[in-house]
Amino acid sequence: MVLGNLLILVSYFGFHWVLRENTYAAAAIQVEEGQKVISTGPYAIVRHPMYSAALIMSVGIVLALGSWVGLLSLVPGILVVVWRLLDEEKLLHKDLPGYTEYMAKVRWRLIPGIF
């Protein structure tokens, strides 16, 4: 349970870092007028740090609750996040100038060295 609570705390720091670095972060996938590619802070490590923080939080919640059933929910949850970020990347690649170059520079989407 302690590890789970620590992961939740880490995820909150991740959310704060992302929102401080990227004022365009929003729930809706869209490109706003004048939006620029953010490639600093957590965006220099992974392309979707908000989703990374959400996954850390999800794992933390399951561990903090000690829920074996909750572990089963992680797999579909991860699949939904991956589907959404791939959809988001298509839009950003098409509509956000400089995103293609950013994708070449920052290789990892969620987890450095893995995906």
Let me know if 103 is exposed, middle or buried by CB neighbors in 10 A (0-12, 13-18, 19+). Answer: middle
Residue 38 has pLDDT above 90, yes or no: yes
Question: Domain limits of the chain?
Answer: 2-24+35-105
The more confidently predicted of residues 65 and 28 is: 65
Assign 29 a pLDDT band (cuts: 50, 70, 90).
Answer: confident
Query: 54, 35, 57, 58: which is closest to 46 by C-alpha?
Result: 54
Q: What is the mean pLDDT of residues 29-43?
A: 91
Q: What is the mean pLDDT of residues 70-75?
A: 90
Quick: pLDDT tens for 75-105.
999 999 999 999 999 999 999 999 999 999 9
